[in-house]
Amino acid sequence: MGEQGELLASATAGHRPFTSNQAAWAEQDPSDWWQACQDAIRSILETNKVPPSQISCIGLTGQMHGTVVLDGKGEVLRPAIIWCDQRGAEQAAELTEQLGFEHLLRLTCNPALTNFTLIKLLWLRRHQPQVWNRIQHLLLPKDYVRYCLTGEFAIDVAEASGTLLLDVARRRWSGEMLKEAAIPEQWLPNLFESPEVCARVSRRAAQLTGLLEGTPIVAGAGDQAAGAVGMGVTRPGTVNSIIGTSGVVFASSDRPVLDPKGRLHTFCHAIPDRWHLMGVTQAAGLSLRWFRDQLLGGTGEGWSYDRMNEEAATAPPGSDGLLWGPYLMGERTPHCDPEVRAGLVGIAAHHGRAHVLRAVMEGVAFSLRDSLTIFDELQVPVRRIRVGGGGARSPLWRQIQADVFGRPVETVQAEEGPAFGAALIAGVGAGIWPTVDDACDTVVRTLDRVDTRPEVAELMDQHYQRYRQVYPALRSLAGLVPQLSHV
């Protein structure tokens, strides 16, 4: 990114997807992230002819909640248990019983969810003591990449909010949570605000990537906070709706707003003295990808996302009554339920592939609307909605969101999402802009707007009321499915 916020070069490097050996388990090899990082950086420097000497600062972002454990030599002890893994339901329940639901909210602003880092640690302690006994350091995914780049153990307060070990209101590690969970404080990385320079590129990393030794790196932020910065969602009133692998509805706040029922996450924002509320759909874009890969034969059969969107658009709004409950990996908002499973409800003989594709897209939008419903309940202002992620590239999914939400939706010019936000945060660390707000005011621009169609919105509101009956029906079946448990 240039000093005026213009995009100068970008690169993408792939890595292996997560593995899932049991229902709702998900793991990745951290070395894959580091290798992909090296490949992408070298592509930027070599293919795009970017002189390393012109890089004034580096920003980092990445998937949240992943648990990377290292020994005393900094070696990874096991594959990372990542954000969507749900294996820790028993540990989450035990911690809630131990501390009490309300006390947990007072300590961390959040309930004990299986997605959070602490719950994964507690699972390791019980089921893999041979790993637990060797742990000396705990990192999250992007912070493991920082460690590889710099040799430093660091984390930002926005990312740390998702560990269940942070006093979110005071933006510091919670001594009481560490004591109650029996987690050694020395395992934890040093805390920083997102725009703070916290580390510099090491000699070894410089040799591997082509970066200059000593290049500064800011603390950065997890993908949702960084993505919100990239979309200009920094002040109260502007909300973003993101459809990536997961789905997120995100609102900024000048204070830590607490949902007394624990349905929303209250985290520190990537901006000092600001917080955000976040609702999460576990399987948003994942729902569409699962349907493509498992039931349509994947890209090998020519099923691109563009082709799926074209076919879904041939079905009518409301999918002739077909409903999708997107619970492939359990659910977070508003149900906080790792055990519920997905369902396609209301299938009739006349339904075809187009109906199912559209129903999947509408079901994800209904799930995101659940979070907006809670925002209204908590009197969180929603004056404009900006959409992002892979779902925002689909004209159909943008229109579905506008109709389901009953509000217009906007897109912004930047397509790089969290990476764009991480670059803005790095620009603040480099002194190009004085604050993150200034950076967003200078750089972020609205690209287009999709208006709600009143007659369709009325129909979708009726279907949303039906959709809200899908979860209780699926939940009633969850306990009837036999489970095999392996450690």
Q: Closest Cα partner for 120 from 70, 68, 63, 184?
A: 68
C-beta neighbour count of 46 within 10 angstroms: 11
Integer Cα distance of 90 and 67 in angstroms: 17
For 445, 472, 473, 487, the CA distances from 342, given in Å and listed in that order, are 37, 12, 11, 24
Helices marked H in 137-282? 141-150, 157-160, 175-181, 203-209, 223-230
Hey, what are 180's tokens? 């109650």
Please tell me what DSSP assigns to residue 283. S
Are 440 and 424 within 8 A, CB to CB?
yes
Hey, which residues does 137 pair with through a beta bridge? 70
- Give the separation between CA 11 and CA 45, rounded to whole angstroms: 10
CA distance 178 to 17: 32
The amino acid sitting at 9 is A
Measured CA to CA, the distance from residue 446 to residue 449 in angstroms comes to 8
Half-sphere exposure of 378 (CA within 13 A, CB side): 24
How many alpha carbons lie under 13 Å from residue 6 in its C-beta half-sphere?
Answer: 4
Count of CB atoms situated within 10 Å of the CB of 311: 18
> What six digits make up the tokens of 259?
């949902």
- DSSP track, 58-75: B-----SS-BEEE-TTS-
Q: What are phi and psi of 387, to 5 degrees?
A: -105, 145
Question: Between 395-405 and 305-312, two packed helices, what is the crossing angle to 10 degrees?
Answer: 50
Among 163, 154, 147, 133, which Cα is nearest to 66's?
163
Of 85, 156, 167, 223, the active-site residue reads 223
Phi, psi of 314 (to 5 degrees): -80, -15
Closest CA to 285 of 389, 417, 395: 389
Question: What is the distance between the alpha carbons of residues 54 and 391, in angstroms, rounded to a whole number?
Answer: 34
According to DSSP, the residues that pair with 449 across neighbouring strands are 410
The question of whether 223 is a catalytic residue gets the answer: yes
Residues belonging to the active site: 223
